[in-house]
Amino acid sequence: MADQYARTGDDTRPTEIPAIRWEEPPEGPVVVLLDQTRLPAEEVELVCTDASALVEAVRSLAVRGAPLLGIAGAYGVALAAARGFAVEEAAEALAGARPTAVNLSVGVRRARGAYLAELGRTGDQKLAADAALAAARALHREDAEASARMAAHGLALLDELMPGGGHRVLTHCNTGALVSGGEGTAFAVALAAHRVGRLRRLWVDETRPLLQGARLTAYEAARNGMAYTLLTDNAAGSLFAAGEVDAVLVGADRIAADGSVANKVGTYPLAVLARYHHVPFIVVAPVTTVDPDTPDGASIEVEQRASHEVTEITAPQVPVAGAEPGGGIPVAPLGTQAYNPAFDVTPPELVTAIVTEEGVVSPVTAGALAELCGRSRQV
């Protein structure tokens, strides 16, 4: 396919606002988010002064993506503690805000654990709040480090699978700096390939219905000066058939103990296509996304979202006056019910490799995953 389809980002300014940060203005601590529902039209900050604002931001996808949800959950607990709100209540609400990405509850548990341990030790609310914040900051920092290591492992794997490449990589949803303390998961691998001149093309699935690919991945690819091309999700088949895809790189929201991968809906069909066309299907995720307590794919709770996300074209930055209930432009008859799972599950036999910060699992087996997690949890 001709390179006329490739667009090289011409807006290479770094993103000015980090995806999440903790601030302590005189009025009291806050968690500041880059509101991802407004991208790419505008970079708007969302200032959360309590955990319930963060819960709402999680539900509305203002803050999203597995690793970032973990960081947000941890900061949410720290915020409740620092402002003297009910920490247990906040932790429960945050952990339950979205069900599929395991990192959310992992992050909440870590900050809550630090808070309770310090409270138990000293009985001092202020020290306990400081401990929760330290835990959130540590998670944030570790995620950035994990991201860099995943990128290195992932790039080495791409080079091994496709020596001498000019890689043409297809990705789904959004897995870059917007979901991470660092440069992300799958996107970070593509970015590493770009930096060493080995990314020929990043194919970006638009990712219906909420367009994380079109709105966010294309935004990040442009900002990083990568050669990228956007496609509708259902154009992927013809792209494989044309021999235009060398590898698929995706993130994960939860990886079950048997290696089943829950990720943004539309991932599983890509895995099927990749198998049919003999293309490597690679999942990139931190070890915190592997959930040893979820035995298999069938045990993963898949979030079901509102019909209006499908029955309307939702462009939150352009509200349609008077439109109900989602505020978007209707594209289906009024009252139409939609099947709208936010995620799907890819079985391990379709996954060529899982790349983590601790190394690469390939082939994907329960034993290999358990060993990897055991190793990382000993550290």
Residues of each annotated binding site:
64-66, 98, 212, 263-264
Residue 10 a catalytic site member: no
Minimum CB separation of residue 153 from ligand MRU in Å reads 15
User: Can residue 314 be called a binding residue for ligand MRU (CB under 6 A)?
Assistant: no
User: Can residue 358 be called a binding residue for ligand MRU (CB under 6 A)?
Assistant: no
Q: Which two tokens stand for residue 313?
A: 């074209």
Catalytic residue among 35, 253, 258, 291: 253
Contacts of 345 (CB under 8 A, 6+ apart): 260, 261, 262, 268, 297, 298, 300, 302
| Amino acid in the structure at residue 347 | P
Residue-wise DSSP of 310-377: HHEE--TTSPPTT--SSSSEE-S-TT-----BSEEEE-GGG-SEEEETTEEE-S--HHHHHHHHHHHH
User: Can residue 133 be called a binding residue for ligand MRU (CB under 6 A)?
Assistant: no
User: Can residue 361 be called a binding residue for ligand MRU (CB under 6 A)?
Assistant: no
User: Can residue 64 be called a binding residue for ligand MRU (CB under 6 A)?
Assistant: yes
Contact 329, 364 (CB under 8 A): no
| Amino acid in the structure at residue 219 | Y
Annotated binding site for substrate, which residues? Answer: 64-66, 98, 212, 263-264
User: Can residue 80 be called a binding residue for ligand MRU (CB under 6 A)?
Assistant: no
User: Can residue 354 be called a binding residue for ligand MRU (CB under 6 A)?
Assistant: no
Helices and strands (H, E) in the chain, number of each type: 11, 17
Cα 349 from Cα 259, distance rounded (Å): 9
Cα 268 from Cα 273, distance rounded (Å): 9
Q: Find tokens 């009985």 and name the residue.
A: 123
Of 2, 145, 127, 120, give the one whose Cα is nearest residue 67: 145
Q: Find tokens 């198998």 and name the residue.
A: 275
User: Can residue 139 be called a binding residue for ligand MRU (CB under 6 A)?
Assistant: no
User: Can residue 153 be called a binding residue for ligand MRU (CB under 6 A)?
Assistant: no
| Helix (H) or strand (E) run with residue 91 in it | helix 87-95
User: Can residue 218 be called a binding residue for ligand MRU (CB under 6 A)?
Assistant: no
User: Can residue 252 be called a binding residue for ligand MRU (CB under 6 A)?
Assistant: yes
**What Å distances lie between residue 274 and 240, 278, 367, 373, CA to CA?**
8, 6, 24, 27
Q: How many residues bind ligand MRU (CB under 6 A)?
A: 18
Segment interacting with ligand MRU (CB under 6 A) among 5-13, 64-72, 293-301, 329-337: 64-72
User: Can residue 259 be called a binding residue for ligand MRU (CB under 6 A)?
Assistant: no
Given the complex with ligand MRU, which of 75 and 115 has the nearer CB atom? 75
User: Can residue 217 be called a binding residue for ligand MRU (CB under 6 A)?
Assistant: no
Minimum CB separation of residue 160 from ligand MRU in Å reads 22
What would the x/- binding string for ligand MRU be over residues 170 to 189, using CB under 6 A? ---x-x---x----xx----
Q: According to CB under 6 A, which one of 65, 73, 76, 154 is a site residue for ligand MRU?
A: 65
Given the complex with ligand MRU, which of 207 and 229 has the nearer CB atom? 207
What would the x/- binding string for ligand MRU be over residues 21 to 60, using CB under 6 A? ----------------------------------------
Cα 325 from Cα 337, distance rounded (Å): 13
Contact 133, 22 (CB under 8 A): yes
Q: Which residues are catalytic?
A: 253
Which residues of this protein are in contact with ligand MRU, per CB under 6 A?
A: 61, 64-67, 101, 173, 175, 179, 184-185, 212, 251-253, 263-264, 342
